[in-house]
Amino acid sequence: MVSLYTSFFFVFTIMAVFNPYLQVMIRNLGYSHDMVGLLLAVFETAGIVGPLLIARHVDNRGSSKNTILFCTGMSALGVTLLMVSTSIWMTMFALTILAFFLRSLIPIIDSYANNRLHGDAQKYAVLRSGGTIGFVLFSLLLAVTHRPDLTSNSNIGFHVLGTFLLFMFPVLAWKKEPKRPKIPHDDSTQAEGKWYDLAFIVGLVIIGLNRMSMSSIASFFSLYLVEELGINAISLMNAIASGSEFGALILAGYLLQRKKVLPVQLLMISSGAMVVRLLIYAMVPTFGGVLVAQFLHSLCYGFFHPAAIFLVARRVRRSHRTLGMSMYVSLGIGLPTVLGSSLGGLIVEQFGYRALFMDYSLFALASVVVGLASYKLMTSKTLETI
């Protein structure tokens, strides 16, 4: 399990270097806020399609290790193209290649880990906490060393490429794919071709509304810090947020595995915390306000992610688990982020960051409402018993 834990550690070091600075790289190319939003939407659209197509390949072939190594190499190509981009078409192509393959890494790892652990939420949370540690440590390292140079796309890109290389080493040590259990012939649900249930679809709606609100942070938080508040400590702020999620991840995994809480309950708590977090950004635009809001990431993501993973593992059959994880990433996260990035850029350009965060808090509120309205369905019998 050491190689798998290390894989989680390093895949999130990639995110620590890449995610906060993608919007900065695009802005460095001279694009306006609304164009930044449009280009991020292109990135997110490719990030929807890629994981879905690659997931079916993994489910059919059981080739997680080779696939993830290939995706890492192609992601490195996308970063390289973005570093040397000289036109909007080249930028769009680089973002498409990058998102298509980079966004496929985490659902493959999540599916592989859940298959290895037979869906144990507590053990998964411990593994996933390795990702949090990796993200926090690298974010703090960047903050202390004042890296990367925010004015140089080449400098940012070389830091990202370095994390790709670090990530590939533990993946090379992955064990052979675990054998899948045979599905009984009298399983009527499988015979009808239903590899998911209705609660999975509704769960994606709850998740999607939550992530629609989160898209305002994912796409514009770094620019909000730099342009609105004059704060350049992007890595430090991201380290604070991710560090706060560590305990919440472990607690959520423990509670889910012990059946003390249900996924839908944690998802609603996460959405409620998101409402508060976005309103703080809007109403208290100060260093202190942002600091408090960053600590709410413990609930906004620390409770959210294990609940979403556990929901997929229980509501999607194991034979389609990689596809289910990819649908969570693509449709539950990617699609809302596409819409959020496109609309968010226009809102910032016309009305500013305060309007952005206030408006997007309504999506999180809607997520809570849908969770309450569908509570009976979301607590019904599951396809997979874990």
Whose tokens are 């930028």? That residue is 91
Q: Considering only CA atoms, which of 301, 273, 319 is closest in space to residue 125?
A: 301
**CA–CA dist 209, 275 (Å, integer):** 12
Q: CA torsion sign, 36 to 37 to 38 to 42?
A: positive
Question: What would the pLDDT profile of 253-281 be if each residue is shown by its tens digit?
Answer: 999 988 899 999 999 999 999 999 999 99
Q: Residue type at 208?
A: G
Encoded tokens for 149:
């140079």
**CA–CA dist 275, 217 (Å, integer):** 12
Q: Residue type at 377?
A: L
Question: What would the pLDDT profile of 22-32 be if each residue is shown by its tens digit?
Answer: 888 998 898 88
- What is the pLDDT at residue 176? 67
- What is the pLDDT at residue 81? 94
CB 262 within 8 A of CB 60: no
Question: What would the pLDDT profile of 221-241 be if each residue is shown by its tens digit?
Answer: 888 998 888 887 777 888 888
Residue 334 makes CB contacts below 8 A (sequence gap 6+) with: 44, 45, 47, 48, 51, 103
- Vertex 40: Cα angle to 35 and 43 (nearest 5): 135
Query: Three-state SS across 231-293?
Result: CCCHHHHHHHHHHHHHHHHHHHHHHHHCCCCCHHHHHHHHHHHHHHHHHHHHHCCCHHHHHHH
Q: Which of 33-47, 60-74, 262-276 has the lowest mean pLDDT?
A: 33-47
**CA–CA dist 223, 368 (Å, integer):** 28
Residue 79 makes CB contacts below 8 A (sequence gap 6+) with: 18, 94, 98, 157, 160, 161, 164
CA distances 59 to 298, 325, 326, Å, are 32, 11, 11
More confident position, 171 or 16: 171
Q: Categorize the per-residue pLDDT at 163 as very low, low, confident or very high, splitting at 50, 70 and 90.
A: very high
Encoded tokens for 52:
């879905």
CB 256 within 8 A of CB 263: yes
* pLDDT over 90 at 168, yes or no: yes
As a whole-number percent, the residues of the chain with pLDDT over 70 amount to 95
* pLDDT over 60 at 115, yes or no: yes
**CA–CA dist 334, 357 (Å, integer):** 19
Q: Which of 142-156, 175-189, 298-312, 323-337 has the lowest mean pLDDT?
A: 175-189
Provide the terminal-to-terminal Cα distance of the chain, rounded to the nearest Å. Answer: 20
- What is the pLDDT at residue 261? 93
Whose tokens are 């620590």? That residue is 16
Q: Which of 196-200, 300-304, 307-311, 342-346 has the lowest mean pLDDT?
A: 342-346
Q: Categorize the per-residue pLDDT at 187 as very low, low, confident or very high, splitting at 50, 70 and 90.
A: very low
What average pLDDT does this structure show over 143-154?
A: 85
CB 233 within 8 A of CB 225: yes
Question: What would the pLDDT profile of 208-224 be if each residue is shown by its tens digit?
Answer: 999 999 999 987 888 89
* pLDDT over 90 at 94, yes or no: yes
- What is the pLDDT at residue 128? 83
DSSP three-state, residue 151: coil
Mean pLDDT of the chain: 87
Q: Considering only CA atoms, which of 271, 269, 266, 274 is closest in space to residue 293?
A: 274
* pLDDT over 50 at 119, yes or no: yes
More confident position, 110 or 263: 263
CB 241 within 8 A of CB 16: no
CB-neighbour burial class of residue 190 (10 A; exposed 0-12, middle 13-18, buried 19+): middle
Q: Categorize the per-residue pLDDT at 326 as very low, low, confident or very high, splitting at 50, 70 and 90.
A: confident
What average pLDDT does this structure show over 94-109?
A: 92
* pLDDT over 50 at 192, yes or no: no
What average pLDDT does this structure show over 316-322?
A: 84
Whose tokens are 């533990």? That residue is 170
**CA–CA dist 275, 199 (Å, integer):** 24
CB 180 within 8 A of CB 318: yes
Q: How many other CB atoms are found less than 10 A from the CB of residue 193? A: 6
- What is the pLDDT at residue 183? 43
Is the pTM here over 0.85, yes or no? no
- What is the pLDDT at residue 356? 95
